[in-house]
Structure 1
């Protein structure tokens, strides 16, 4: 019996040591591998893949913008008889762009590098497919135009659109002057910039069409590049004209709504003050301090409300957000519902104004800025369609934050020459 035990010990202990060391090495190797896949090199490689996906999305977003112009020309100018390939390609590209921006937003934070690289490469694959469809659709459309439309006809139609747009725009300085009478200079800057852009774009379109007319008399040269530049200038003019009208509407509505929003905010503060009696002493003191700070901030906003209506609406919206966070669970469901109904109009107005600013600042900026702009659009749409006031208010606040983030990122890109 002793001999058998000695035999087991003599062979078993070394084997156990060998297997134990092997298991330890395997566990250590697995741990090292997992750590390396989350290490600095892996994160740097994942960041490069994410940046490449962002660059691809920027290119696709710009291509969709150009495609919008061609689709509009195909439908409006050619009586819908042009091949539908452009419209199909635009729809595919829009879906790929929107899904890509949503996924790129989700790639931020502490996601695993492998997941970042997998999703980033998936984004690039879908972008490449959409870009290929756009290129093929443009070839089909160019062939159709060559067969069915002459440069002379395009020039006549472009001049007609220029005159129509000029008539619709009217005198942009009149709108700017009306805004300037209502607000301080800094709140009129966006409208003034939009008016300048509209006038400059109309001038560019006129010059391009004049050049196209001269080229038509020379059979050795093509007028199509000048006509394409004119169409892009008309598109810029139309976008700027819409931005000017939107700024005028936002300022006018904000000036009309600001007194009511300030009064509603004062009432919300009084209601929050009444809740303190039902709180524990420590919680009541904390809420009281925050309410005093909010009241001081509201006083500062109200002092300049007459000349800064859009800033007033945005300031009140942010204050109401802070108030809801300070009150927390102290309110009943009915009180939360009533508070959401009173806060929603002003917050929606602030979100719309912020999205308008973000569109002007971020539409030609980096991928991160465009991601925030896309998120702001989605949240604003959700706020408008929500039936529950609380859910609509939450979505409007998210839209406001995303739009402000988009502007901040665009400003950062501009300051750093990106």
Structure 2
């Protein structure tokens, strides 16, 4: 019996040892698998990174095609670029869908399976944008490389050079007239646009002369190359002058908005002073009095003939916002709607100017976060324009959100 008991005990001990070893192997395997398996957050970050790269690619490709299309239209005419323009419209629709899907990726912290599907669709749309626009760009790249029509191209180029030269003189005159009344920062990066355009025009004229000489010598490749380089320089000069015109127009809008906002500020501060006596408690009365004083200071700082209307707009608008907060409890709904309508124009002008400033610093290397925030600003600005008639308060809020998004986009693009 002792022998049998010893054998049984040994078997039990051996069996226990085997179970321990098996358990150890199983646990070790699970640990290894767990370590190899990507963590949910890491996998999500990878999906977002992939989607962000595709967004940057799609956005840059559409922006490049928009410029190339205008360049092609200037070279070959609108009729020749109809298919290119249709392809660009489809690509712009795909780009909007890319930004929509990217927004869902950023706003939804979970749902990994849906994230992968969204990221895959973003990549597919980016590929489709690249393919469609690339095909159209290749068509015109080949047309530019052909000698046929070179004399006509050269003639059109020389006509555009003369026209651009006259535009440079007019733009410089307008810019100089505004310099007398504005601080240098108000003109922004477009301040030296006429000088840059003049340098580009000089180089284009030289290339046109070289193309004419190559044409006389029947040097086909040299003709196409010189003409293409000259046309690109001329297009860049024209684009710079257009940006200056747009900047001056925004400053005109800001000056008009500033005049209106000064009047609104005077009316609002008089209304607030009248509400001090009827304030429900001393704290509210003090808040109203301080807000009136800040509004008066902002209006005084943005004196008549402000040398930076956009900056002056911001100062008065911030003071009026504080005044509105102090008065909010005593305002009726009709008064709130009226105030929103009065404040909307200035808020929209500020948002449009900030969006333009963000676009100026974007370039081709801006990250997906900056591009997405700029798109958010554009969406809010469109929403504000659509809402102004039916809901002025929402329109004002949307314009202010557009301003915030555009500022964030500029910061993200810079850093």
TM norm structure 2:
0.76
Compute the displacement of 1:138 (Å): 3.4
1:96 aligned onto 2:94: yes
Compute the displacement of 1:150 (Å): 2.1
Residue 106 of structure 2 aligns to a residue in which SS? Answer: coil
Contact 2:187-2:248 at 8 Å conserved across structures: no
Task: Report the Cα distance in structure 2 between the residues aligned to 1:294 and 1:209, rounded to whole angstroms.
Answer: 63
* Match in the other structure for 2:383: 382
Task: Report the Cα distance in structure 2 between the residues aligned to 1:233 and 1:136, rounded to whole angstroms.
Answer: 23
Residue 112 of structure 1 aligns to a residue in which SS? Answer: coil
- Which 5+ residue runs of structure 1 have no aligned equivalent? 1-24, 413-418
Compute the displacement of 1:78 (Å): 3.9
1:107 aligned onto 2:109: no
* Match in the other structure for 1:303: 301
Contact 1:261-1:346 at 8 Å conserved across structures: yes
Task: Report the Cα distance in structure 1 between the residues aligned to 2:191 and 2:115, rounded to whole angstroms.
Answer: 42
1:236 aligned onto 2:230: no
Compute the displacement of 1:102 (Å): 3.8
Superposition RMSD in Å: 3.6
Task: Report the Cα distance in structure 2 between the residues aligned to 1:239 and 1:224, rounded to whole angstroms.
Answer: 22
1:340 aligned onto 2:343: no
Provide Cα deviations, 1:265-324, integer angstroms capped at 9, x if missing partner. 24324435655777764xx73684386257436614632443222211133334444554
1:186–1:66 distance in 2 versus 1, CA, 3 Å: closer
Compute the displacement of 1:111 (Å): 2.7
Contact 1:67-1:86 at 8 Å conserved across structures: no
Task: Report the Cα distance in structure 2 between the residues aligned to 1:145 and 1:221, rounded to whole angstroms.
Answer: 10
Provide Cα deviations, 1:37-86, integer angstroms capped at 9, x if missing partner. 633x2233123213322332243234323432255237xx3461x37431
1:407 aligned onto 2:404: no
* Match in the other structure for 1:55: 56
Compute the displacement of 1:334 (Å): 0.4
* Match in the other structure for 1:4: none
* Match in the other structure for 2:312: 312
* Match in the other structure for 2:7: none
Task: Report the Cα distance in structure 1 between the residues aligned to 2:328 and 2:117, rounded to whole angstroms.
Answer: 40
Equivalent residues in 2 for 1:158-197, closer than 5 Å? 158-197=157-196
TM norm structure 1:
0.76
Contact 2:277-2:285 at 8 Å conserved across structures: no
Count of aligned pairs: 377
1:143–1:226 distance in 2 versus 1, CA, 3 Å: closer
Deviates more, 1:125-134 or 1:240-249: 240-249
* Match in the other structure for 1:203: 202
Residue 219 of structure 2 aligns to a residue in which SS? Answer: coil
